[in-house]
Amino acid sequence: MKWALLSVWDKSGIVELAHTLSENKYNILSSGGTGKTLGEAGIPFTEVSNYTGFPEMMDGRVKTLHPKVHGGLLGRRHIDDAIMAKYGINRIDLLVVNLYPFERMSAASMPLEKLIEYIDVGGPAMIRAGAKNFKDVAVIVDPADYPSVIKTICGDGFSPEQRLVLAKKAFARTAAYDAAISNHLSNLDVTFPPTLSLQFTNGRMLRYGENPHQQAAVYGTAGIAAAEPLQGKQMSYNNYLDVNAGTALLAEFDEPAAVLVKHNNPCGVSTGTDILDAYLTAREVDPESAYGSVVSLNREVDKKCADAINSTFVEVVIAPSFTKDAFDVMKKKENMRVLLLPERINTDEVRAIDGGILIQRTPPYQENWNVITNRDPTTDEMQALRIAWKVCKHTKSNSIIFADQKRTLGIGAGQMSRVDSARIAIEKARVSLAGSAVASDAFLPFPDTLEIAAKSGATALVQPGGSIRDKEVIDIANQLNIAMVFTGVRYFRH
């Protein structure tokens, strides 16, 4: 006779699983709320306390911490049989456990004395015991696996390969659970704890890394990390980086907007009366760079917009939705990856360096726009400044952005010299920069960038301010009749 031990917080699907176990000649051990659920469903089971001879105690803190439970999970078949028989320990062949919801409760700002009651002790102990003995014990920690488990129980039973897969998942779950507890408690009195545990699930291999000779994978269950193409080739490492960059900038806009990204920098950004207008305008900012770009849109794509996208080579397009006609059009570009725009998840930024990682967090903050020149920006100039500043925030440093009231005009990114970035932005512009606004991601240490921008036709500039030469730059701006705004916030992006 086989034995199964069922002890779950999340009761979804447990009755159906227990019915299957009972019908397939399993004896069921259970306790607490799980036992109550099984009893109400008329499923026969043995109380753990009756099996061990010890009652549940300490308000349920101690239920399964007993040698007859852990011996049944850890006992090696044909090695420990005699000792198990001596102490009346039954072999437990199947363990079904999910844990107290510490992660969910810790996010609810619960007092610590209440939260610690959601730290599961018996559950992880059983999971680890069963998973250690995976050659003989199948361990189920996820209700999503119940349908396949039911099929296996009704079939030929668990193969050694299946048991190992389940054990891997079990140890990953206890690792994540312990990490959540450790991180929460360690963060109670510090911003960043001395030890940080990270775990991401839903890992998928990518075609390759930044280059074909490199290997890569993506992990995550939400946001861009979880996005999968509705059509097209498999996403690459670079595709995910560019989509992440593009959608981060896209989130700055409420009005219809299009962001085109190439090599993790925007190459065209525009707002519009509708999404087609925004896309066409953004593409024309720099058509050469737009070729092979990643396109992010914040409105539904219809057939006209899909036709426009299909008229050039696009690596990836992401939008909140696509009409059926649009999707039919995009299928003609069978290699183009089409993604649905997910809700953006604001998390800490994690970057690898040799021997470790860097963590960056952006707490809530407030920009303080302050006109520091004799002349205020006009309404049109202020609108252009805001677009340039939004784009500057998401462009590799040093960055200089020229814009008008609806689009970028010239983008200079990633140069060691801010002056060189300005010159590149001017050179990239396909239209006159007369009356344009310009943004700098960091303060201007000298007036030279301002003078170059003014010579190209710019009439307003936005920058963080904070240089020891601010007064000199302000004086030059006044001489040139440039309206200049300080924001007080720097946007380096490395």
Q: Which amino acid is at 463?
A: Q
Please confirm, yes or no, whether 471 is among the known catalytic residues: no
CA-based radius of gyration for the chain:
30
Q: Is the peptide bond before 398 cis (omega within 30 degrees of 0)?
A: yes
Contact assessment for residue 13 and residue 143, using Cβ atoms and an 8 Å cutoff: yes
User: Around Cβ 136, how many Cβ atoms within 10 Å?
Assistant: 18
Q: Is the dihedral of CA 69, 74, 76, 77 positive or negative?
A: positive
Crossing angle, helix 470-479 and helix 448-456, to 10 degrees? 20
Please confirm, yes or no, whether 263 is among the known catalytic residues: yes
User: At which residue do the structure tokens 């960038």 appear?
Assistant: 449
User: At which residue do the structure tokens 């914040």 appear?
Assistant: 298
Catalytic entry in 169, 263, 331, 333: 263
Quick one: tokens of 33? Answer: 């709320």
Contact assessment for residue 414 and residue 387, using Cβ atoms and an 8 Å cutoff: no
Give the phi and the psi of residue 352 in degrees, each rounded to 5: -85, 140
Burial class (CB in 10 A: 0-12, 13-18, 19+), 214: exposed
* Cα distance between residue 301 and residue 342, in whole Å: 15
Quick one: tokens of 357? Answer: 């990682």
Catalytic entry in 2, 19, 132, 304: 132
Indicate the SS3 state at residue 350: strand
- Alpha carbon dihedral 12, 15, 21, 24, in 10-degree steps, equals -130
Indicate the SS3 state at residue 337: strand
Q: Show Cβ contacts of residue 225 under 8 Å, excluding neighbours closer than 6 positions.
A: 200, 202, 218, 219, 240
Residue 308, by phi and psi: left (phi above 0), alpha (psi -120 to 50) or beta? alpha
Question: In this structure, what DSSP letter does residue 139 have?
Answer: E
Burial class (CB in 10 A: 0-12, 13-18, 19+), 14: buried
Q: Which contacts qualify for 180-183: CB closer than 8 Å, 24 or more apart?
A: 180/102, 180/103, 180/106, 181/102, 181/119
Residues tagged active-site: 132, 263
